[in-house]
Amino acid sequence: MVSRWMYISLVILYGFLLGPFVIIFMAGFGANANLAFPPQGFTLDWFANVFETAQFIDSFWISLQLGLSSTIVSLIMGMPVAYALVRYQFSASGMVETIFSAPILVPGLVIGFAMLNFFVLLGDMSVLTGLFIGHTAILFPYSVRVISASLRNLDPYVEDAAVSLGANRLRGFLLVVLPNMQAGIAAAFVLGFITSFNNVPVSLFLSGPGVTTLPVSMLSYLEYYFDPTIAAVSTLLVIFTVVLVQAAERLLGLSQFV
Partner 1 sequence: MIRRPNQNRTIILLVAPACVFVLVFFVLPLIFLLSQSVLPEEGGFTLTGYRDFFESRVSRIVYLRTLKLGVIVTVICVVIGYPAAFVLARMPARRRSFLMSLVILPLMTNAVARTFAWLIILGKRGMINQTLLSLDLIENPVRFMFSETAIVLGLAQLFLPLMVLPLVSALENIPEDVLEAARNLGANRLTTFVRIVVPLSSDGLVLGATLVFTGSVTAFVTPAILGGPRLLLMSTLLRQKVVTLFDLHAAAVVAVVMILTTLAVNLLLRVFRVQQS
Partner 2 sequence: MRSQLPIMLLLAALVLGLVAPMTAAQDTQTLTVSIWGFNLDVLEENVFAPFEEMHNVDIVLDTGNNSDRLARLQAEGENTDIDVAHFATQFTHLASQADLLQPYDPDMLENLDEVYDWAQDPLGNQAGVGYTVNSLSLIYRSDLVETEVTSWADLLRDDVAGYVSIPEMSTTFGPATLVMIDRALAMAEMDGEAPDEINYDADLAWEALPQLADNLVTTYIRSSALTTLVQEEEVWLAPYASFAIGNLINTGHNLSAVIPDEGAVGQTNMISITAASDQAELAHAYIDWFISHDVQLAEALDLIDSPVNATVELPEDICALLTCGEMLDTMIVLDQAQVSERLEDWLERWNEIMVR
Binding site for partner 2 (CB under 8 A): 34-35, 61, 64-69, 71-72, 116-117, 120, 123-125, 127-128, 179, 182, 185-186, 189, 208-210, 220, 223-226
Q: Minimum Å distance from CB 222 to partner 2?
A: 9
Single out the residue of 38, 41, 166, 179 in contact with partner 1 (rule: CB under 8 A). 38
Residue closest to 42 by CA, chosen among 55, 25, 58, 54: 25
Question: Is residue 230 at the binding interface for partner 1, with CB under 8 A as the rule?
Answer: yes
CB of 210 to partner 1, least distance (A): 19
In the complex, least distance from residue 83 CB atom to partner 2, rounded to whole angstroms: 16
Nearest to 214 by CA among 50, 98, 80, 90: 50
Considering the complex, state which of residue 58 and residue 97 has its C-beta at the smaller distance from partner 2: 58
Query: Shortest distance, CB of residue 107 to partner 1, whole angstroms?
Result: 4
Interface pattern 104-133 for partner 1 (x via CB under 8 A): -xxxxxxx-xxx-xx--x-----------x
Residue from 18, 158, 174, 175 touching partner 1 (CB under 8 A): that is: 18
**Partner in contact with 170, chosen from partner 2, partner 1, none, beta carbon below 5 to 8 Å by kind:** none
Distance CA 203, CA 206 (A): 5
Q: Are the CB atoms for 135 and 196 separated by under 8 Å?
A: yes
* Distance separating alpha carbons of residues 58 and 69, to the nearest angstrom: 17
Q: Which is nearer to partner 2, 49 or 163 (CB)?
A: 49
- Are 58 and 216 contacting, i.e. CB atoms less than 8 angstroms apart? no
Q: Judge contact between 74 and 136, C-beta under 8 A.
A: yes
Tally of CB atoms within 10 A around 11: 9
CA distance 61 to 94: 38
